[in-house]
Amino acid sequence: MEKTVPFDSSTLDGLLQEYPTPFYLYDESGIRQRMRDLVQAFSWNEGFRQYFAVKATPNPRIVSMLRDEGSGADCSSMAELVICDRIGLSGESIMFTSNNTTSDEYAYALQMGAIINLDHPNLIDTLLAAGGMPETIAFRYNPGPERTGNVIIGNPQEAKFGCTRQQLLAGYKRCKELGATHFGLHTMVVSNELGVQSLVETAEMLFELAILIKHELGIELEFINLGGGIGVGYRPEDTEVNLEDFGARVHHLYDNKLLPAGLKPRIFMENGRTITGPFGFLITRVINCKETYKKYVGVDACMSNLMRPGMYGAYHHITVMGKEDQALTETVDVVGSLCENNDKLAVDRALPKVEVGDVLVIHDAGAHGHAMGFQYNGRLRCAELLLKPDGEVEQIRRAETLDDYFATVKF
């Protein structure tokens, strides 16, 4: 089964004449439509908002595009806050969810008016030192043995994120005493989840916790952030989450649990992967083929361009351009040039006969792809391009140069 691409061979040929491989190519139409589909799925909730997880694709042009579609930004670092600041996002359009956070980071987030989502009550003092208790505060909940996670985040009991139920209640109580008047709740239990039931169970858990918080503390949560975690169908046979079904099932829970308890919170989400992931492609060229105990296809991209396969053993589908209809006659490892044996973009992958000069399209690389890049072996980060709805292509990040690499050192 083959995956499709939103560009034709002539478009790609033109780009290859202008830009050296490897490079990333994002599909603007696909990203905008996915954002609209998510908003539509939760349109029943007055005040619903999606906060794009900037960490997934931290390019200002992408974040600006989603801002224009009504998205806020979910930030976890100073640099991500700076991106928002420079493109004009501020106030409640920013959710600042970080862990092991410094006072400087909190000070900047407070200056921008961001919603502060605390990882643990022990960060209250850090927040106070940074500028005081804001009117609006939220906490990240870690359900521990209540839930099971998945390979990316891990089981909640083993995860470094969030706080326990008792810590959560103590944190709300102290923040209320310190002057906070508006409260929210957040969790992030799974990542890259294709099972709707798991996502719905997260909503149910948070809704029941919201009722407990009202009963125990008299606090009526004004928003509940369901987190992100909606997965991507990386394999051709995968079935992606039906957003309309997901929204409808959360709506049912909302009406049957929260409304009878006198609660009408806004629903927030902070998806990154599902918004940009399927609409980004890593374009790379075959530069070497060899056979020892296995067959290897060497390309000019490497793990520093796309870390997920080497880090998680993640699958990314690969199309050999111009050979989409040919039989899959070879089983190969697609590898880069790093001095690490896990520098593999695919392992034991069935492909058509591949030759030096062939162009490979690596699918579903639009999230946690370029963002996780690094410079081991002096490999430079590649360019990012945006395919616009009219067919034009805009460079939204140039490729790094050796001057960039050496800019911070002294010889």
Note the pLDDT of residue 156: 73
With 90 as the cut, is the pLDDT of residue 151 above it? Answer: no
- The string of pLDDT tens digits covering residues 327-352 is 999 999 999 999 999 999 999 999 99
| Mean pLDDT confidence for 143-152 | 68
Q: Does residue 131 carry a pLDDT above 60?
A: yes
| Consecutive H or E run containing 91 | none
* Residue that finishes a domain, picked among 271, 300, 319: 271
Does 153 have pLDDT greater than 80?
no
pLDDT of residue 117 exceeding 60, the answer is yes
Per-residue pLDDT tens for 35-87? Answer: 999 999 999 999 999 999 999 999 999 999 999 999 999 999 999 999 999 99
Bridge partners, residue 295, by sequence: 291
Per-residue model confidence (pLDDT) at position 35: 98
Would residue 163 show up in a list of annotated catalytic residues for this protein?
Answer: no
Confirm whether 210 is domain-assigned: yes
- The residue out of 233, 254, 271 marking a domain boundary is 271
Q: How much of the chain, in percent, has pLDDT values that exceed 70?
A: 98
Cβ contacts of residue 123 below 8 Å, gap of 6+? 101
How many independent structural domains does the chain possess? 2
In a domain, 31, yes or no: no
- Band (pLDDT 50/70/90 cuts) for residue 165 is very high
Neighbouring CB atoms inside 10 A of 89's CB total 23
What is the tens place of the pLDDT at every residue in 344-385? 999 999 999 999 999 999 999 999 999 999 999 999 999 999
Residue 176 placed within a domain: yes
- Global pTM reads 0.95
| Same domain for 260 and 282 | no
The annotation status of 155 as a binding-site residue, yes or no, is no
Helices (H), 282-407: 308-312, 402-406
Is 296 annotated to bind ligand? no
pLDDT of residue 149: 59
Residue 34 covered by a domain: no
321 & 224 share domain: no
Q: Does 229 carry a binding-site annotation?
A: yes
CA dist., res. 268 & res. 227, Å (int) = 8
237 is in an annotated binding site: no
Same domain, 50 and 169: yes
Range of the domain at 321: 9-25+277-406
Residue tagged active-site, from 163, 289, 339, 382: 339
